[in-house]
Amino acid sequence: MADAHVAALRAEYNAIAKRLETVTGTAEREAVKREIVGFFKLVDGQLAELTQLKEDIRQLVDKYKQLASEAKEASAPEFTGTRPLVHADHIGASTFIEKGWSLISLGDHAGAIQSLQKALQLSPGETQAESLLGWAQMLHEDYDDALQTFSKVLMKEPANSLARINVGYICLKKRIFGEAIEHLSKAIRLDNDKKATLYAHFYLGLVYLQREMYEDAQTFFQKTLQLGPNLIEAYYELARAYWFAGDQEQAKQTWEQGFKANKFNPWGKKCQETLELVAQGQEPPRT
């Protein structure tokens, strides 16, 4: 349907172009001029409508993500996505970078990877494209590829804390705990990005929780909630750290706090579900 619409516009363009080649008198030139102006306004108006529709689709995607989101063992760092400031270039890499950013925002990680790889073919070593490619690969769970991509970024930008916590997250998922601690601790020491510092504490809490070092896990989750009270999953994980350390009453209170903090958040709901589970005499999940 879209192809037919574009084909109709292209046919109209070709018809005007053909008449322009054979125009003779002044009156005929003026008539063709009016056609060109009218055609431009038609296309421009449709572009404006399509741009607005594109933004409306983003809202649909956000609503879908909200409905479909599920609480998992560890969420990837949230891609809030500030539109990249890219400069137009004659080789077209910037177009693919912006497209890649848009596709990540829309949740089409495979499409984003393809677009950003094209950008890097046109402009090898472009750091912004590499950073976004790493995000897309990580969210697509291509962890080995993402690790390699982020390593390139960190070689050029050792103080890039967001890239560093992403590496820490990947190492956590791959259970390479030593490297995870190294990268996440470095991000905390750098403390040059609030989001990176927040997630570094959270992921360190998860590392120590998985290693059954519950007091250390509690410390990092408590700090996470000081830095970001809206990261509801930290309540859930902190409560698990209390529970498995033997402090079941504190765990219950923490799950209750998480639910009250945001009843509609999937992690808030998971806090409530876990409370109901332990009330039945069952154990909370270990993963």
Name the 3-class secondary structure at 255: helix
Per-residue confidence (pLDDT) for residue 66, from 0 to 100: 55
Cα gap 206→216, rounded to integer Å: 10
Give the relative orientation of helices 177-190 and 194-210 as an angle to the nearest 10 degrees. Answer: 150
Per-residue confidence (pLDDT) for residue 90, from 0 to 100: 47
The predicted model scores a pTM of 0.73
For 127-186, the DSSP string reads HHHHHHHHHHHHHTT-HHHHHHHHHHHHHH-TT-HHHHHHHHHHHHHTT-HHHHHHHHHH
Tokens at residue 207, please?
């590392």
Cα gap 83→74, rounded to integer Å: 25
Q: Which helix (H) or strand (E) holds 237?
A: helix 233-244
Query: Which residue in 240, 238, 231, 223 sits closest to 188, CA to CA?
Result: 223
Cα gap 151→53, rounded to integer Å: 38
With a cut of 70, which residues of the chain have pLDDT below it?
1-3, 58-59, 61-76, 78-92
Per-residue confidence (pLDDT) for residue 88, from 0 to 100: 47
Q: 158-224 sits in which CATH class?
A: mainly alpha
- Give the amino acid at 140: H
Tokens at residue 280, please?
């039945």
Per-residue confidence (pLDDT) for residue 39, from 0 to 100: 80
In the block, which residue shows the tokens 């984003």? 112
Per-residue confidence (pLDDT) for residue 173, from 0 to 100: 93
Residue-wise pLDDT for 77-102, tens only, equals: 766 555 555 544 445 677 888 888 88
Q: Is the dihedral of CA 47, 52, 55, 61 positive or negative?
A: negative
| Residue-range domain boundaries for the chain | 158-224, 229-287
